[in-house]
Chains A and B, each alone.
Chain A
Amino acid sequence: MSPAIRTGDVGGTLPLVSKAETEKSFFDSIHSWLVTVDHKKLGLMYIMYGLFFLLIAGIEATLMRIQLAFPNNHFLSPQFFNQLFTVHGTTMVFFVGMPLVFGFANYLVPLMIGARDLAFPRLNAFGFWLSALGGVLLYFSFIGGEGMAGAGSAPDIGWFAYAPLTGKAFSKGHSTDYWILGLMVSGFGSIATAANVFTTILCMRCRGMTLSKMPLLAWLNLVMSGMVLLAVSPLTAAQIMLLLDRFAGSHFFDTQAGGSATLWMHFFWIFGHPEVYILIIPAFAFASEIIPVFSRKAIFGYPAMVGATVAIGFVSVSVWAHHMFTIGMTSASNTFFAISTMMVGIPTGIKIFNWLGTMWGGKLRFDTPMLFCIAFLFQFLIAGLTGIMLGAAPFNWQLNDSYFVVAHFHFTLVGGFLTMIFAAVYYWFPKATGRRFSETLGKWHFWLFVLGFHMTFDTMHIPGILGMPRRIYTYEAGRGWGVLNLIVTLGVLFQAIGILIFVFNLLRSARKGPPAGNDPWDAWTLEWATSSPPPEFNFAEIPTVKSRRPLWDIKHPTDPDWKYE
């Protein structure tokens, strides 16, 4: 499919894997992964870690949905249900979302900017293992039952852990401490990796790649990393305060001693809102790389995309209290946050229009990555619109903490973030493994998942409108919620099958898929110029670039991008 490209130009003609490597024993192989500082291996480990926890958290969700399928169900005890929703939310954000974000950043950024690794390879490894430890700490809490010398059990405080429910008085034992420590440890890892990615993008671009010539993925990861540095820290600070409350007897959130419950809320959401943008911006990055390739056109409005992302980065730190419209802030405060929340919808909308503009006039190919991108565009549009609705504070007074909000954020995170993770995995799978995956299975995954997703999450808006609050382990019959909840639960089945097909496809294709070659999609950014998988040093010679699409310039020597940019 791709025109003749001289791989000697950039990729090097060295064999992919040296003889010494193939003769490595199994244990040497594992050892090499454990001690690696190579961004590609660490990136893949992050991604596998995130996908593993996706399955675990998905099982947690399935259990909850079975409990909620009927009113007054007795499948799960209230205590266990409360632990499930806490751990499900915490896992999805911190041990699925963040690892996937950093995994792709790790893998792709050096390749796309023409560098050999991240700026600080050992810090990279350190950050990964810290993050991994955090997940282990959180899940250890399940085993550390009440009986194990008071080690505690899984946290049941909700993923945003409001005070004073988290104080020693109301959360006895150590379950809350596992939540705090697991997240604090992985938070340090996140900050380390964010600093690493940020520095890499600023300092290690290849010759010719000015900031205005680097791929959008690099720009968006730069903004994302900057946001991590500023937003994760408030959570760390609040958690230190909570630990001091629980162990040193301080009174940060101790309402009996004059402490403030709302202060925790402010600190948490100053982290929490930028955090969801930290998760979605990489999804935007994938869309900005994949949609152009499958539309056969350059991204429409590169400068606007950069500007919109930076705007989102800035505005998103000013909207946090839209999670707190019901706590009794003044009407002036509520109005301010309603305005800022709606404002942040504008740059987000601009991005959707630019992707649409990219597709417009193109020649669309519907390979699996592109199918997920198209679903993403529809789903994120809906998610953004329900977000605007929730930004209207009075509407929020009704719908906050109801299943409408649960539907909204699952639309953004599953319909937006996870959908683009699927797209990205399929798109870069050939590069990382050197093999093609099965398109047929990919399409089965896609259609089953989209069907299940909409069955569950479209429907889920309605119980919220009918007054169903969130985080309840059961509900009364006679409120009109029963049939709706059953439909929501049934959709899970299709999503689960879709994901199983996905995992099967990946595992089988990684071993037995047909060879992919350097550039199976006929794409234009630097990672496709080197071999699949790339050698450890990435490029035999660090390239010099003249435009945003260096491979387009090579493939179209009479019509290169740099003439028009």
Chain B
Amino acid sequence: MNGAVATTYLESTTGRQTVTVGEQTGPIASKGVIGMACLIMAESAIFAIFVVAYLYYSGKDLSGPTPRQVLEWPILNSICLLSSSATITLALRSLRRGATKRFSVWWFVTIALGAYFLLGTGREWQHLIHDKGLTIQTNLFGTTFYSLVGLHASHVVVGLLALSIVMAFAITGLVKKEHAERVHVLGLYWHFVDVVWIVVFTVVYVIGR
């Protein structure tokens, strides 16, 4: 038995590493990526249940406004949020190359797009509550709509908080090339939030109407 310390223990800063395991050699994903994948699995299950409830109660309202009567497609909102997936990827690429200033710019744009999405959601809700009389208490549609969209929005909020913390570090010049893997893991969360929006959008604004 040789005395070499297994490289799998050390926390990787480069994301990917090759390890000779027995006769095999192959890439092993970093702990951060696997851990984030676990979180995404769990969150997906939570969202799935809310989606099931939404679809199950579709059309079963006893009274009150129906989706068709009150919902308008949030096109601009969605474009912003989905573009933020692209901008965060650009930010990450810049960081991997060491272009920390460009990283900061793209990172800021990502936050701005996410914030716009939230504002847009807020405006939509205000319109629905005050002008259309739809609250979570109104009927089954109100119940499932606000909870599903709200659950997604809360995840956007948490994402933006995390992104803002990174922004603060970036502004003070503390984010460097070797942190790319950790930023990548956070980026995975943000991509997840965007994918969930595609699902929510389809279920609520396309199928549900």
Q: Do chains A and B touch in the complex (CB under 8 A)?
A: yes
Q: CB-CB contacts of B34-71 with A at 8 A, as 1s and 0s?
A: 11001101111110111001001100111000000000
CB pair B28–A210 under 8 Å, yes or no, is no
Query: Which chain B residues lie closer than 8 Å to A259 at the CB level?
Result: 57, 140, 143
CB pair B31–A116 under 8 Å, yes or no, is no
For the complex of A and B, the 5 pairs showing the least CB-CB separation, nearest first, are: A195-B38, A233-B45, A237-B49, A249-B137, A250-B143
The listed residue with most B CB atoms (<10 A of its CB), out of A198, A207, A263, is A207
Q: CB-CB contacts of A117-137 with B at 8 A, as 1s and 0s?
A: 001100000000000000000
Whether, in the assembled complex, B136 has its beta carbon less than 8 Å from a beta carbon of chain A, the answer is yes
Whether, in the assembled complex, B172 has its beta carbon less than 8 Å from a beta carbon of chain A, the answer is no
Bound CA–CA A237/B43 (angstroms): 10
CB pair A249–B46 under 8 Å, yes or no, is no
CB pair A119–B35 under 8 Å, yes or no, is yes
List the B residue with the shortest CB-CB distance to A550: B1
Whether, in the assembled complex, A329 has its beta carbon less than 8 Å from a beta carbon of chain B, the answer is no
Whether A229 touches B53, Cβ cut-off 8 Å, given contacts A250-B147, A544-B1, is no
Q: CB-CB contacts of A176-209 with B at 8 A, as 1s and 0s?
A: 0000000000000001001110110011111111
Among the listed B20, B42, B147, which residue makes an inter-chain contact with A233, where contact means beta carbons less than 8 Å apart?
B42
Whether, in the assembled complex, A457 has its beta carbon less than 8 Å from a beta carbon of chain B, the answer is no
Q: Which of A227-263 contact B (CB under 8 A)?
A: 229-234, 236-238, 240-241, 244, 248-252, 257-260, 263
Whether, in the assembled complex, A449 has its beta carbon less than 8 Å from a beta carbon of chain B, the answer is no
Query: Which chain A residues lie closer than 8 Å to B24 at the CB level?
Result: 210
Bound CA–CA A195/B34 (angstroms): 8
**Total A residues in contact with B, Cβ cutoff 8 Å:** 54
Whether, in the assembled complex, B21 has its beta carbon less than 8 Å from a beta carbon of chain A, the answer is yes
CB pair B8–A263 under 8 Å, yes or no, is no
Bound CA–CA A10/B3 (angstroms): 9
Query: Which chain A residues lie closer than 8 Å to B7 at the CB level?
Result: 207
* Interface residues on chain B, size class: 35 or more
Whether, in the assembled complex, B77 has its beta carbon less than 8 Å from a beta carbon of chain A, the answer is no
Q: Which of B10-27 contact A (CB under 8 A)?
A: 19-22, 24
Whether A203 touches B31, Cβ cut-off 8 Å, given contacts A251-B143, A544-B1, is yes
CB pair B45–A207 under 8 Å, yes or no, is no
CB pair A544–B42 under 8 Å, yes or no, is no
CB pair B4–A544 under 8 Å, yes or no, is yes
Whether, in the assembled complex, B5 has its beta carbon less than 8 Å from a beta carbon of chain A, the answer is yes
CB pair A114–B49 under 8 Å, yes or no, is no
CB pair B42–A191 under 8 Å, yes or no, is yes
Whether A203 touches B147, Cβ cut-off 8 Å, given contacts A208-B21, A257-B140, A541-B5, is no
Q: Which of B140-172 contact A (CB under 8 A)?
A: 140, 142-144, 146-147, 151
Query: Which chain B residues lie closer than 8 Å to A209 at the CB level?
Result: 21
List the A residue with the shortest CB-CB distance to B39: A195
Whether A241 touches B21, Cβ cut-off 8 Å, given contacts A195-B35, A236-B46, is no
Q: CB-CB contacts of A266-300 with B at 8 A, as 1s and 0s?
A: 01001000000000000000000000000000000
Whether, in the assembled complex, A115 has its beta carbon less than 8 Å from a beta carbon of chain B, the answer is yes
24 interchain pairs, CB-CB under 8 A: A115-B8, A195-B38, A198-B34, A199-B31, A203-B30, A204-B8, A206-B6, A208-B22, A209-B21, A225-B38, A234-B48, A237-B46, A241-B53, A244-B136, A248-B137, A250-B142, A251-B143, A252-B144, A258-B61, A258-B62, A260-B56, A263-B53, A541-B3, A544-B1
Bound CA–CA A267/B45 (angstroms): 11
CB pair B42–A230 under 8 Å, yes or no, is yes
Query: Which chain B residues lie closer than 8 Å to A199 at the CB level?
Result: 31, 34-35, 38
Whether A251 touches B139, Cβ cut-off 8 Å, given contacts A233-B43, A542-B5, is yes
Whether A238 touches B136, Cβ cut-off 8 Å, given contacts A116-B9, A541-B3, is no
Bound CA–CA A119/B45 (angstroms): 23
Query: Which chain B residues lie closer than 8 Å to A240 at the CB level?
Result: 46, 147, 151
CB pair B45–A244 under 8 Å, yes or no, is no
Whether, in the assembled complex, A543 has its beta carbon less than 8 Å from a beta carbon of chain B, the answer is yes
Query: Which chain B residues lie closer than 8 Å to A146 at the CB level?
Result: none
Query: Which chain A residues lie closer than 8 Å to B144 at the CB level?
Result: 252
Q: Which of A534-551 contact B (CB under 8 A)?
A: 541-544, 546
Whether, in the assembled complex, A9 has its beta carbon less than 8 Å from a beta carbon of chain B, the answer is yes
Question: Could you list 5 further interchain pairs (A-B, Cβ under 8 angstroms) beyond the known A204-B8, A237-B50, A544-B4?
Answer: A199-B35, A208-B21, A233-B42, A233-B44, A238-B49
